[in-house]
Amino acid sequence: MPWILRTISLRGGRLDLRSFIGSPERVEGASVEYEIARSLRKNPQTLYFSKPTGFDFDVVGNVITSREDLYRALGTTREAYIKHVLSAYRNPIDPSIVDTGICQEKECSIYDLPILRHFEKDAGKYITSGIVIAKDPEYGGNASIHRLLLHEANRLGIRIVPRHLYEYFKRSESRGEDLEIAIAIGVHPLILYSAAFSPPLGYNELALAGGLMGQPLELVKCKTVDIEVPASAEIVIEGKIISGERIAEGPFADVTGTYDRIRHEPVVEVGKVTHRKNAVYHALLPSGMEHRLFMGMPQEPQIFKSLQEVSPVKNVCLSDGGRNWLHCVVSLGEGKFEIEDVIAKVFEAHPSVKHVVVVNGDIDIFDPDEVEYAISTRFQAHKDAYIYKNMRGSTLDPSTDGDGKTTKVGIDATIPPGKEEDYEFAEIP
Question: Please, is 355 exposed, middle or buried when counting C-beta atoms within 10 Å of its C-beta (0-12, 13-18, 19+)?
Answer: middle
Q: Count of CB atoms within 10 A of residue 174's CB? A: 9
Please tell me the chain's helix, strand, coil percentages from 3-state DSSP, rounded to the nearest 5: 30, 30, 45
Which residue of this chain has its Cβ atom nearest to Mn ion in the complex? 164
User: In the bound complex, what is the minimum distance in angstroms from residue 204's beta carbon to Mn ion?
Assistant: 7
Q: How far apart are CA 140 and CA 37, in angstroms?
A: 36
Residues 121-150 that bind Mn ion (CB under 5 A): 142
Determine how β-strand 47-50 pairs with β-strand 25-28.
parallel
Residue 164 is a binding residue for Mn ion (CB under 5 A): yes
Given a contact cutoff of 8 angstroms between Cβ atoms, the answer to whether 314 and 274 are in contact is: no
Is 254 annotated as catalytic? yes
Residue 406 is a binding residue for Mn ion (CB under 5 A): no
By rule CB under 5 A, what count of residues binds Mn ion?
A: 2
Residue 194 is a binding residue for Mn ion (CB under 5 A): no
User: In the bound complex, what is the minimum distance in angstroms from residue 93's beta carbon to Mn ion?
Assistant: 16
Residue 165 or 270 with smaller CB distance to Mn ion: 165
Residue 164 or 323 with smaller CB distance to Mn ion: 164
Residue 164 or 276 with smaller CB distance to Mn ion: 164
DSSP per position, 225-286: SS-EEETT-SEEEEEEEPTT--EEE--EE-TTSSEEPPEEE-EEEEEEEEE-TT-EEEE--T
Residues ≥6 apart with Cβ < 8 Å to 375: 357, 411, 413
User: In the bound complex, what is the minimum distance in angstroms from residue 92's beta carbon to Mn ion?
Assistant: 12
Residue 53 or 306 with smaller CB distance to Mn ion: 306
Element (H, E) at 26: strand 25-28
Strand order in the sheet with 385-392: 313-318, 327-332, 355-359, 405-412, 385-392
Q: How far apart are CA 10 and CA 12, in angstroms?
A: 5
Residue 6 or 163 with smaller CB distance to Mn ion: 163
Residue 104 or 142 with smaller CB distance to Mn ion: 142
The Cα-based distances of 341 to 45, 312, 320, 352, 406 in angstroms read: 40, 12, 24, 17, 19
User: In the bound complex, what is the minimum distance in angstroms from residue 152's beta carbon to Mn ion?
Assistant: 31
User: In the bound complex, what is the minimum distance in angstroms from residue 166's beta carbon to Mn ion?
Assistant: 10
User: In the bound complex, what is the minimum distance in angstroms from residue 133's beta carbon to Mn ion?
Assistant: 10
Determine how β-strand 252-253 pairs with β-strand 247-249.
unpaired
User: In the bound complex, what is the minimum distance in angstroms from residue 234's beta carbon to Mn ion?
Assistant: 23
Using the contact rule CB under 5 A, the part of the chain among 162-170, 216-224, 274-282, 401-409 near Mn ion is 162-170
Using the contact rule CB under 5 A, the part of the chain among 36-44, 97-105, 158-166, 239-247 near Mn ion is 158-166
Q: How far apart are CA 330 and CA 364, in angstroms?
A: 10
Given a contact cutoff of 8 angstroms between Cβ atoms, the answer to whether 19 and 11 are in contact is: yes
Residue 142 or 395 with smaller CB distance to Mn ion: 142
Using the contact rule CB under 5 A, the part of the chain among 156-164, 237-245, 264-272, 404-412 near Mn ion is 156-164
- Identify the active-site residue in 178, 254, 397, 412: 254
Catalytic residues: 254
Return residues touching Mn ion (CB under 5 A): 142, 164
